[in-house]
Amino acid sequence: MISKANRLLCLSSFLLTFVSDCKVGHWEGNATDNPVVSTLFNTRMLLLMKGTYATDNPLEFSEYNNGTGNVYEDPSGDPDFNLNDLPKMANLPIYIDIGEIRISSKYQDGLNNLSQIRTVAAAKAFWDNVAPNREVYCTQPYTLNANTCRSLNGEFKMVQFLNGEGAEYPSNDPTAGTASGQASQYYYTGTYIRSLVTGWGNSPGVDLTKVTFFDNYGVYGFNIVPRLAYPAGATDKSGYPLIFPLLYSAQAGEADMDFKPGYEPYIFEVRMNLKENLMVHSIKAADGSTAATLISISDWKTKHAGQTDMGGGILSRSRTIYPSTASSLAITGGSGNLTHYFAVFREGETNILTKLPLASAPARNGTVKIKYINPGTHKLYCLSDTSYVDGFPDTVVGTPLTFSVPENGNMGTVSLSYSCP
């Protein structure tokens, strides 16, 4: 079967002969000079959306919580859980509704988590609407009636969203119509999550199917988007919600958000740590009892103790990948410990325990492959989920290995031996 990357290379090579001088309409219906491959069905840029900490071969739900298959539970601070009918992770319904994905090249304007952007006009000027279409993914049907997830092939896309392959998201090439020149440097990616439902929970005296809605249908569980807007204990809620958009901001040492003009096919990968970092939390009622028990994101970043807010634990990272110049890694030295990861960062990156890696994979036995590493100097870390076991690695094991990826790798393989016990 032809891979997505190879399909990109084959199709664009064939089509460019015919479309380089065409004037066509873009997604808003206006005439442009953009080439057909970018504006009609965009065979140059492939946008992949991933819902995993690992870029490659993430843990299966059956491997959750060190192989038990059970969801993590907040170890302290929350009122007593009501765990009636709590499913294994493999059986947990998950529904996600993404409104759009935007990117921005305006570094100064986005500083301090978009706090300078206070008007609709400022937001329009700041963002480029690279993927303005809505996508809906679901692990299982939520109604027998016609629904958006089914009409958008969302069940299949959810599999790709969670298995490391990535779900193809309809998109527009931001460099369309430019055949030469310098690469455009972008610094921000915003993923606008409209709804994210985890299909289990309890609230005394409440029929959750009457108060939780997804795609206009009542569903069992909780929409956790409102819970993720601000961290636990937040008193100032004047800033942008952490989940709308779920923001990636390029930090010092990172170097993988350049969009090159021309006709070379490339991948734009946007990812979030959803799959590996789900945890049972509870909300405290005014009298100290349990108002609700639900599954949300781990509180690895800001500890939760019964508050209605529980945001900050879900992160995003994005990168551009040019298959013709990228290389793959073949790493040996993993022990198969389900709490350990091989994690790749650029050499100059800092604060590696509070961000998503550039690329990563569980440190399994044998040879672990990680695809699409752009040229340059990188560091390979062994990271472990040790001090607060919740699926998010929090400990550096050993000394990182510095390695180089050659220019024009053409998907060649760089072999590395690195112990991750």
Q: Where are the domains of the chain?
A: 48-259+270-322, 325-421
SS3 of 148, please?
helix
Q: What is the mean pLDDT of the chain?
A: 90
Q: Which residues contact 146 (CB under 8 A, 6 or more apart)?
A: none
Does the domain spanning 325-421 belong to CATH 2.60.40? yes
Amino acid (one-letter) located at 231: P
- So what's the pLDDT on residue 262? 85
Q: What are the CB-based long-range contacts (under 8 Å, 24+) for 141-150?
A: 142/93, 142/95, 142/214, 142/215, 142/217, 142/219, 143/215, 143/217, 145/217, 147/215, 147/217, 148/97, 148/215, 149/95, 149/215
Confidence of residue 180 (pLDDT cuts 50, 70, 90): low
DSSP symbol at 87: P
Closest CA to 74 of 305, 287, 274, 339: 305
- Give me the mean pLDDT over the 265-277 stretch: 97
Distance CA 329, CA 404 (A): 11
233 φψ region: left (φ > 0), alpha (ψ -120 to 50), beta (else): left
Distance CA 403, CA 414 (A): 9
Q: Which two tokens stand for residue 190?
A: 């915003």
Q: Half-sphere exposure (CA, 13 Å, Cβ side) for 243?
A: 26
- Tens of pLDDT along 54-93? 999 999 999 999 999 999 999 999 999 999 999 999 999 9
Confidence of residue 329 (pLDDT cuts 50, 70, 90): very high
- So what's the pLDDT on residue 175? 81
- So what's the pLDDT on residue 20? 34
End-to-end CA distance of the chain: 35
Burial (CB count within 10 angstroms: exposed 0-12, middle 13-18, buried 19+), residue 284: middle
Closest CA to 385 of 368, 369, 397: 397
Q: Half-sphere exposure (CA, 13 Å, Cβ side) for 406?
A: 9
Confidence of residue 4 (pLDDT cuts 50, 70, 90): low
* pTM confidence score: 0.88
- So what's the pLDDT on residue 257? 96
Closest CA to 309 of 209, 237, 205: 237
Closest CA to 379 of 361, 397, 401: 401
Is the CA virtual torsion 302, 249, 387, 70 positive or negative? positive
| Least confident window among 2-6, 50-54, 60-64 | 2-6
147 φψ region: left (φ > 0), alpha (ψ -120 to 50), beta (else): beta
pLDDT at 267 over 60: yes
Is the CA virtual torsion 65, 71, 76, 81 positive or negative? negative
